[in-house]
Structure 1
C-alpha cells in the first residue's frame, strides 16, 4: 500500500465574510512502502472569488497564478487519479482532509476515502517530543536535521517536507504504533463541577479559534458544536454528552469574553 503525503493551501480570510475559503493549491508526494518517492502531484486551483490579502502574503500565490488555473472539480479528479485505490493519507495535522470535505460538500462532489489516515504531526508530537504542544512543520524539519525543500506555505514544498519527516520517523519507530495519550477535561479543567481557571482559558481560546477560522463573531452554539476545533477538543479530552451540556450552558458567556478580548487586542494594534 502506498502513502500519499498531502498538503493544501486555501484562500483564507482573517475577517468576517460570506466568501468561501476554498482550496487554491494541492501538493502531494506518493511513497511506496519502503519510503521511496514514486510520483508527485502539484496543481494550482482557480477559486470563485479574488484572493485575500492575507492569503497572498502567506503563500505568495498571486491572482495571475490562479486566474488561468483549472477549476477545483478538474484538479480534484486529477488528484483522485493520482492517489489510486489503495493508500494511506498522510498529512501534517488533520485540517487538509477537512478542507477537501468542505470543498467537496460545497461543490457536490464525492469525497475520497483512504484506507487509513496518518497525522504525522501527532506522530512527531507524541513519539518524539512527548508533548501536547502543537509544533510547526518548520520546527520539526529543523529539529530532525532535515534539509528543507522549497518555501513554506506552498502546497508541494510543505508536502515534500512532511514526506521527509515521515521517512525520518519510520527509521526511528513504528509510526502506526504511536497513540495519543488520554486526557480528561473533568480532571484537568473542572473543580466541584465548575470550570477552573485553566478550563475557562481553554474554552475561551477554542471559541476564539473558531471565530477566527470562520470569520464569524456571531457564531452560535449550533454551528460551534459541529466545528472541527470543538470536535477535536471533545475527542482529545473525553467530553461526553453530559459534560457538553455544561459547555453549551455557558457558551454565550465565554463567547462574549472571547469577542471582547479580540476587540481589545485589535484596538491595541490600531493605536
Structure 2
C-alpha cells in the first residue's frame, strides 16, 4: 500500500452550534485548505444554515450571527460540495476528534463517508512543541511565529493557521532530525506516544532513512 505524504492533504476546521452532534448540534461553517507539497493550492469556505437559531454564546464566540445564517444554504447542500473537495484526500485538524465527529455526522446526512486518514495537529504539537505554554491554536501560532491570517474561531482562518502550524512542525522535525520525507502515518504514531518517547521515535525514523 502506498504511504501518504504528510505535506499533501486537506486541513479543515468546523464552527458549530455546540460540542456534540450526538445531542443535535450542527455545523455552521466549514473552512479548509488543500496542501500540495507543503503549499496551499486551494481553499474551501462556506457558512451553512443548521435549521435552527444559534445561541448568543456561539454568536459571540464565532462572530457568526443568526442573520448571517438565514441567507445561507442548508448543511446538506454544503456538505455535498465539501465531500468532493476531500475525496481521495487525507485530513488534519486541530483537536481532530471534535472536527471528525462533525465531519462524519454531517456527511452521514448526505449518505457520504470519509475514508481517508485523519491526524490531529494538537496532539502532534504536544510532541513537537513540548516547551509551548499550552497547545491551543492561538498560543501555538504565536509560539511558532506564524502570521495570523484572519480572526480566530472563523473556520477558514483557523484552517489556514493550522496548515501553517502543521508545516512548521514538519519543518522542525526535518531540521532537528534530518528527515526530509515524512509520512502521515508516522505523524499519527508520534501523536499517540508519551512525550518522553518522542525524541527516540524521531531519532529511530531518522536512522531508517
Q: Distance in 2 between matches of 1:137 and 1:37?
A: 18
Structure 1 residues 20-59: aligned runs within 5 Å: 20-32=24-36, 34-59=37-62
Provide the rounded CA distance (Å) in 2 between the counterparts of 1:35 and 1:103.
Answer: 28
Aligned length: 175
Q: Measure the CA separation in 1 of the matches of 2:170 and 2:127.
A: 14
In structure 2, C-alpha distance between the alignment counterparts of 1:76 and 1:118, rounded to whole Å: 20
Say if 1:12 and 1:54, in contact at 8 Å, map to a contact too.
no
Q: TM-score, with normalisation over the residues of structure 2?
A: 0.76
Return closer, same or farther for 1:63/1:157 CA change in 2, 3 Å cut-off.
Answer: same
Report the secondary structure of 1:171's partner residue. Answer: helix
1:78 — aligned with what? 81
Rg: which structure is higher? Answer: 1
Alignment partners' CA distance in 2, 1:19 and 1:179: 28
Q: Matched residues in 2 for 1:70 and 1:161: separation? A: 26
DSSP-derived class of the 2:31 partner: strand
Task: Quote the RMSD (CA, aligned, Å).
Answer: 2.5
- Which residue is equivalent to 2:163? 163
Higher RCO (CA-CA < 8 Å; seq separation 6+): 2
Matches within 5 A, 1:110-121: 110-114=112-116, 116-121=117-122
Query: Could you state the TM-score of these two structures normalised by the residue count of structure 1?
Result: 0.59
* Cross-structure match for 1:154: 154
* Alpha-carbon distance in structure 2 between the residues aligned to 1:179 and 1:157: 24
Change (3 A) 1:19 1:63: farther
